[in-house]
Amino acid sequence: MKGIALEEHYTTAALADSFRSVAIGFDKEAVARLVAGLSDFDSQRLETIDQAGIDISVLSVAGVGVQGERSAATAVPHARETNDFLATQIRRHPYRYRGFAHLPLQDPKAAADELARTVREHGFLGALVSGPTHGHYLDEDRFLVFGSASRS
């Protein structure tokens, strides 16, 4: 039986500032080490998961990432860039990593399209949603287009 770890987090250079902003009250050196670890996809991460007996790690963005962005016009392309970055890391280690999409839920239709794209083009397993997006939850009517489109 393989060891599979879900909700294993990562960050990108573009998302690191967002991640640092939620690390309020933490020691700056500790946060720097954490960001460095979250940004590593090679020796440190692989060694750590090997020591834990993990064969496959399903990666998702640490923190709220683009869900914290106010502008959908900014969030949509940033989510796509983040997902393409993760897909590149997965291609470098195809037997070790899988991915959950990072979605711009400010625009439910764009989020559904991005989920479909990442599953179809990159083989992602689904998405990880970090709670509400600016106070809005997935059970609201505004997300019906996301729920129905993501099932097709």
Average pLDDT over residues 90-114: 96
For residue 103, what pLDDT is reported?
A: 96
User: Tell me, what amino acid is at 79?
Assistant: A
Average pLDDT over residues 65-90: 95
| CA nearest neighbour of 20 among 1, 43, 38, 47 | 38
**DSSP H/E element including 127:** strand 126-127
d(CA 146, CA 149): 5
For residue 152, what pLDDT is reported?
A: 55
Average pLDDT over residues 100-114: 96
- Judge whether 61 and 15 are in contact, CB under 8 Å: yes
Q: Which domains does the chain have, with CATH numbers?
A: 4-149 (3.20.20.140)
3-state secondary structure of 38: helix
